[in-house]
Structure 1
Amino acid sequence: MVNRTNRTQPLSGRGAGTREAIMTAAERLYAEHGLSNVSNRQIGEAAGQGNNTAVSYHFGSRATLVRTIMAKHGTHVGVIRMRYVKAAGDSTELRDWVRCLLRPVTEHHAALGVPSWHARFAVQVMTDPLMRTLVEDESLTRDSLCLTLQGLGRCLYDIVPPEIRPARAEMARHLITHTCAERERTMAEGLAEPGASWERTADALEDALVGLLAAPITRH
């Protein structure tokens, strides 16, 4: 008997194509309407599937579908990030490690073309408590991100006390996620200002993140 409740492994041939179509449709619909406002039936129809159970058959649950989409993008970002990590080496410059954190994300978004939906989809995922936990747990197992966070920690060791760093890390995550989502939206809707690009967005974010992470601390 075929287990259809948690099919997470890619299939070959036609099955793989169906999974890809479902992920593409789901990412767009989730980005546009939110995770809780999109049904499996809507995703299946948008993916060109006549079978109403196609999403359940290939992914089992919404959580598995979301994790699969995020993992696919995360793999691409991880490859890019590792290049930055190798270039940074043993650097003690905060900006070098901020680049390792940020630039792979913006480079990946740029490679997706216009329109794209991943940045807006990621915002939906990261503001859903359950999905966020699932995705964060998986992302923290990636070597490239672990090495980046270690590099940032070394740079901030003598600048920011340990008890302050988690809050700033959370702020940095929000800044990257929401800024990228807004940039993607304006580009997709043709509302971006002249000369707007992912590279310019990355330049602005890099400056902001360096300032945020190393900002002076107010003592009470």
Structure 2
Amino acid sequence: MSTSTRASRVAATREAIIAAAERLFAEQGVAAVSNRQISEAAGQGNNTAVGYHFGTKADLVRAIIRGHMEHIERARVERLDAMGEEPGLREWVECFVMPTMDHLGALGERTWFARFAAQVLTDPAMRDVIAAEAMEAPSLRQVTAGLNACLPDLPPEVRAERDEMVRQLVVIVPAAREARIAGGAPTARDTWHEAGLGLVDAIVGLYGAEYTELRELPP
């Protein structure tokens, strides 16, 4: 077997494992799925294929996230480059939300990435992986700086509270929509792009809403 043929087979095996793992993790949760189940779903006779090609389950989760983040990061950088000189709050929120929503729309009719991300976020052993891989993307640092400039009057503790709400929304809302589509249920908006704009509306309203002063926590 030539080196190029072997490399092609290895690449195909890795892609099959990634596709199978993403689907199984999305449908069942990360902790509930074994490497053996993934290997079988990927058509691999060797039950150690996952460990051989990826190492730990966390490494496999990281590989899935990186495969999607490459496209999302590229789209976000393009949006940043196209921004005007003085973008407002909505422009920054769109830059945060829309690359992921449009990426989901580009994946085809059947997608698992949104539910996969939600499963990882709610898994205590894995949530730090998605935080490190998705939330620390270079373009997001620029988005965060832009949001900071648009929200100077929000007290730090209120801003932190709303940032956490937003992080939950941008994962759970797409996952819920993806689940409805997978189950054949109707959705309020026809496309992922339109759904993204609705999510942007909600986040802009969340950041701009009035707030109640938070009580001081005891030392």
Query: Please, what TM-score do these two structures have when normalized by structure 1?
Result: 0.90
- Correspondence 1:30-69 to 2 at 5 A: 30-69=25-64
**Post-superposition CA distance 1:33-64 (Å, at most 9, x none):** 01111110000000000001000100111000
1:188 aligns with 2:182: yes
Alignment of 1:68-217 (within 5 A): 68-158=63-153, 160-193=154-187, 196-217=190-211
For 1:102, give the aligned amino acid.
Answer: V
- List runs of 5+ in structure 2 lacking aligned partners: 1-5
- 3-state SS of 1:36 partner: coil
Sequence identity (%):
47
Unaligned 5+ runs, structure 1: 1-10
2:61 and 2:199 map into 1 onto residues whose CA distance is 26
TM-score (norm 2): 0.90
1:32 partner SS: helix
Query: Which residue type is aligned with residue 156 of structure 2?
Result: P
State the aligned residue count: 209
User: What pairs with 1:15-34 in structure 2 (closer than 5 Å)?
Assistant: 15-34=10-29
Q: Which residue is equivalent to 1:5?
A: none
Q: 2-side partners of 1:141 and 1:206: how far apart?
A: 20
Shift of 1:107: 0.3
**Do the aligned partners of 1:88 and 1:97 also contact (CA within 8 Å) in 2?**
no
- Structure 1 residues 210 and 50: CA distance shift in structure 2, 3 A: same
Deviation (angstroms), 1:91 = 2.5
Any idea what SS the aligned residue of 2:77 has?
helix
**1-structure distance, mates of 2:84, 2:11:** 38
Contact kept? 2:89, 2:150, Cα under 8 Å: yes
Within a 5 Å distance, the mapping from 1:7-18 to structure 2 comes to: 12-18=7-13
Partners in 2 of 1:87 and 1:130 — Cα distance? 38
Tell me, what secondary structure is at the counterpart of 2:125?
Answer: helix
Q: Give deviations 1:156-202, integer Å, cap 9, x for gaps.
A: 113x1222212111101111211101111112222124762212211
Could you tell me how far apart the structure 1 residues matched to 2:113 and 2:7 are? 24
Contact 2:65 2:134 in 1 (8 A): no
Ranges of 4+ aligned residues in structure 1 off by more than 6 Å: none
The CA distance in 2 between the partners of 1:51 and 1:152, in whole Å, is 49
How far apart in 2 are the matches of 1:106 and 1:193? 15
Q: Tell me which residue corresponds to 1:8.
A: none
